[in-house]
Amino acid sequence: MDFGAMVDYLPLFEQAMWLTLRIGWIGILGSLVIGLVVAMITHYKIPVLYQISLFYIELYRNTPLLIQLFFMYFALPRVLGVGIDAEACGMLGLALLGGAYMAESFRSGLEAVEPIQTESALSLGMTKAQVMRYVVLPQAVSLSVQSFVANIIFLLKETSVFSAISLMDLMFVAKDLIGLYYNTTECLVLLVIFYLIIILPVSILGTVVERKLRYGAFGS
Amino acid sequence: MADEREIVLRIENLTKSFGDNVVIDGLDLEVRAGEVIVVIGPSGCGKSTLLRCINGLEEIQGGRILLDDQEVDGRSKNIAQIRQKLGMVFQSYDLFPHKTIIENVTLSPIVVQKRPKEEAIAEGEALLERVGLLDKRDDYPRQLSGGQKQRVTIARALAMQPEIMLLDEITAALDPEMVHEVLDVILDLAREGKTMIIVTHEMSFARAVADRVIFLEGGHIVEEGIPELFFTNPKTERAREFLHTFEFTAVRSHTVEE
């Protein structure tokens, strides 16, 4: 292996890593917001929005991100007549894909909170909104942390398809360098290392957070 | 002798059914301020359902429930306000697992009644002191025993300064040695003149705490009366049979040998 070349490539990979991180975190934040809203809609079965939400969840969970991005980046501008910036497209694409998964995580958390919790909060004079905010949602979130972390890791890995809409992410840089210099092994090793740099901390942090929020699992 | 105390809760011709199954069938009941009513009866007689109806947790099919002349209706807009006057304690000591003990007790006074935090905490501490658990103030529910949790649930309900306490078999899920610590708290409340409706299977407790005993079966009040008479000399055959199920006759006749 040509370690000299690897050192030379480092700045390019580093730059690409920041792009991946930027798109990744905004996309993930967006996915949490979308997931929470969609989960509330499906939890309360709000008419019309409920059916739309179910359709959205199934659509996004059962099609590849690559195709979702192609639609947004190449097909939608033709229909709407306005182009969408590649980076914004990546963030939105990730947020929408993640939203469908996060919605399911929130939903299973909401369902796992025992009905007696709602009843006792209601008996204490809380309104339905107060019950959700102070009693049910905090418990649902702590019950879902594990699956949130799994989703986040999944989404970060999915960013590797961004190169398809000409975003200069890690994958793009690796392919580019391989095409130019044929240092295939070196580039792929760097690629793996950089993905680990991004994702390993999330895994570790996730385990820590999960342990801290474990109260829900112990029973009351 | 006419009772001069004000009627705080009036139940008129209450009917509740789950599908075809009629659980409460035209029940009438009046509860006066300061009265302690104990509801007993076989399983499935509608005791717990009655409490849940009073609290608006169950939709009712007929009749009405009036608390201070305000109708209790689970679907109405002011139900949350009415529920503040009713302190419900369930069988399953359902504390909020993500909150500490003091947070459990003060959550509702702070977010529902918008009381100042310091005031709510001071009062919460006084209530914890009263149920003997001030030292558990900053623990989480999972660190407490069943009996301790149930005492906190009582304190949490009292923190809302309810007019009536509704206690639904609050010791049924507890280990026997913890039953007493919980019931002592209730006896104490009764002494203070708190209005309570208590569903229980603890007959000696019922006898000690009740002003009036109500025997429910098939969704009706079969018999009611003061505990001294009800427990020693029930009028109806059904009540007599029911009370008999709490007694046991010795199987063997023991002989003591020198």
Q: What is the pLDDT of residues B100-138, one digit of tens each?
A: 999 999 999 999 999 999 999 999 999 999 999 999 999
Q: B1-85+165-258 has which CATH code? A: 3.40.50.300
Whether residue B97 and residue A215 make contact (CB cut-off 8 A), yes or no, is yes
B90 → closest Cβ in A116, A139, A218: A116
Question: Structural domain of residue A34, as residue ranges?
Answer: 3-218
Whether residue B160 and residue A125 make contact (CB cut-off 8 A), yes or no, is yes
Give the confidence band of B57 by pLDDT, cuts at 50, 70, 90. Answer: very high
B111 → closest Cβ in A120, A134, A142: A134
Q: Report pLDDT for A57.
A: 96
Q: Report pLDDT for A219.
A: 43
Whether residue B94 and residue A120 make contact (CB cut-off 8 A), yes or no, is yes
B248: left (phi over 0), alpha (psi -120 to 50) or beta: beta
B100 touches chain A (CB under 8 A): no
Give tens-digit pLDDT for A167-205.
888 888 999 999 888 888 888 999 999 999 999 999 999
Segment A49-55 mean pLDDT: 96
B140 touches chain A (CB under 8 A): yes
Which CATH number do you get for residue A67?
1.10.3720.10
Give B114's DSSP letter: -
Interface predicted TM-score of the whole assembly (ipTM), two decimals: 0.89
Query: How many separate domains does chain A show?
Result: 1
Give tens-digit pLDDT for A123-143.
999 999 999 999 999 999 988
For residue A192, give the nearest of A201, A200, A204 by alpha carbon. Answer: A200
B236 touches chain A (CB under 8 A): no
- Residue B221 contacts residue B214 (beta carbons within 8 Å): yes
Residue B93 phi/psi, 5-degree rounding, is 25, 70
B98 → closest Cβ in A116, A122, A142: A142
Query: In chain A, pLDDT over 90 holds for what percent of residues?
Result: 62
A129 touches chain B (CB under 8 A): no
Give the confidence band of A54 by pLDDT, cuts at 50, 70, 90. Answer: very high
Q: Report pLDDT for A217.
A: 47
Higher pLDDT, B138 or A8: B138
Whether residue A220 and residue B95 make contact (CB cut-off 8 A), yes or no, is yes
Query: In chain B, pLDDT over 90 holds for what percent of residues?
Result: 63
Residue B63 neighbours by CB under 8 Å, 6+ apart: B11, B12, B13, B14, B15, B26, B27
Give tens-digit pLDDT for B197-239.
999 988 889 999 999 999 999 888 999 999 989 998 888 988 8
Give the confidence band of B77 by pLDDT, cuts at 50, 70, 90. Answer: confident
Please give, rounded to a whole number of angstroms, the shortest distance from the CA of B73 to a CA of chain A.
13
β-strands B86-89, B164-168 pairing: parallel
| Closest-approach residue (CA) in chain A for B58 | A119
Please give, rounded to a whole number of angstroms, the shortest distance from the CA of B106 to a CA of chain A.
11
B88 → closest Cβ in A123, A127, A135: A123
| Closest-approach residue (CA) in chain B for A114 | B94
Residues of B in contact with A130 (CB under 8 A): 111-112
A57 burial level (CB within 10 Å; 0-12, 13-18, 19+):
buried
Q: How far apart are CA B219 and CA B237, in angstroms?
A: 17
Question: A interface mutation test: which of B55, B92, B94 has the most A CBs within 10 A?
Answer: B94
Give A84's DSSP letter: -
| CB atoms inside a 10 Å sphere around CB B19 | 5
B96 touches chain A (CB under 8 A): yes
| Closest-approach residue (CA) in chain B for A134 | B107
Between the CA of residue B7 and those of A20, B29, B114, what are the distances in Å?
69, 10, 29
Please give, rounded to a whole number of angstroms, the shortest distance from the CA of A201 to a CA of chain B.
26
Segment B148-169 mean pLDDT: 94
Please give, rounded to a whole number of angstroms, the shortest distance from the CA of B46 to a CA of chain A.
18
Q: Report pLDDT for B84.
A: 93
B158 touches chain A (CB under 8 A): no
Whether residue B92 and residue A116 make contact (CB cut-off 8 A), yes or no, is yes
**Extents of the domains making up chain B:** 1-85+165-258, 95-161
Please give, rounded to a whole number of angstroms, the shortest distance from the CA of A109 to a CA of chain B.
14
Give tens-digit pLDDT for A101-126.
999 999 999 999 999 999 999 999 99
Between the CA of residue B248 and those of B41, B171, B183, B232, B251, what are the distances in Å?
18, 21, 23, 16, 9
